[in-house]
């Protein structure tokens, strides 16, 4: 049993596909154990993606992530981190396998529909960022 942070990004929220994406999680055996809909400030987006500061795509990424509401969630399940990244598909939707979330719902490299933690340590930091009070037992 493992936890991972998932974000449904602004382009997917704007397309009204929250339900379709959450259904993919549930079908893959991932359980939604916390959820928060919010509109990130510039400061919050810069902090969340701090590791990418200085990269050429950073300003575009922060602009996109603050362009509208997002849905942050904690997903739980066996191998939740890897399982979530499998069903998300490749970061660049041009390389995302058919049937993955990004293949079906991404609009561009930046507006790629979903975020998923990439390792246990980053998952812990990212979950604490959005859910400092913890998740339901
Ligand atoms: P995420 O962290 O959002 O789950 P990821 O781990 O697959 O995605 P990262 O390398 O962490 O990819 O990049 C974070 C986000 O920055 C990507 O999801 C994408 O929105 C954006 N991004 C990354 N690389 C590029 C790029 N070369 N051009 C445009 N946007 C990019
Ligand atoms: Mg990442």
Q: Domain-by-domain residue ranges, the chain? A: 2-130
Specify the pTM.
0.97
- Give the pLDDT confidence of 86-105 residue by residue, as tens digits: 999 999 999 999 999 999 99
Residues lower than pLDDT 70 in the chain: none
Nearest CA to ligand 1 atom 10: 91
Give distance in angstroms: CA of 104 to centre of ligand 1. 17
HEC letters along the chain? CEEEEEEECHHHHHCCCHHHHHHHHHHCCCEEEEEEEECCCHHHHHHHCHHHCCCCCHHHHHHHHCCCCEEEEEEEECCHHHHHHHHHCCCCHHHCCCCCHHHHHCCCCCCCCEEECCCHHHHHHHHHHHCCCCCCC
Interface ipTM: 0.94
Superfamily of domain covering 2-130: Nucleoside diphosphate kinase-like domain (3.30.70.141)
Residue 118 CB less than 6 A away from ligand 1: yes
Residue 4 CB less than 6 A away from ligand 1: no
């Amino acid at each position: 049993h493992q936890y991972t942070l998932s974000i449904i990004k602004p382009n997917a929220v704007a397309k009204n596909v929250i339900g379709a994406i959450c259904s993919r999680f549930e079908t893959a055996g991932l359980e939604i154990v916390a959820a928060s809909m919010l509109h990130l400030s510039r400061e919050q987006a810069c902090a969340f993606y701090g590791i990418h500061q200085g990269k050429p795509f950073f300003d575009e990424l922060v602009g996109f992530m603050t362009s509208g509401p997002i849905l942050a969630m904690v997903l739980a399940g066996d191998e939740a981190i890897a399982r979530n990244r499998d069903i998300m598909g490749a970061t660049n939707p041009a390389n995302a396998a058919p049937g993955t979330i990004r293949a079906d719902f991404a609009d561009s490299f930046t507006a790629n529909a979903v975020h998923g933690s990439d390792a246990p340590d980053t998952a812990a930091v990212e979950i604490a960022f959005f859910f400092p009070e913890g998740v339901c037992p």
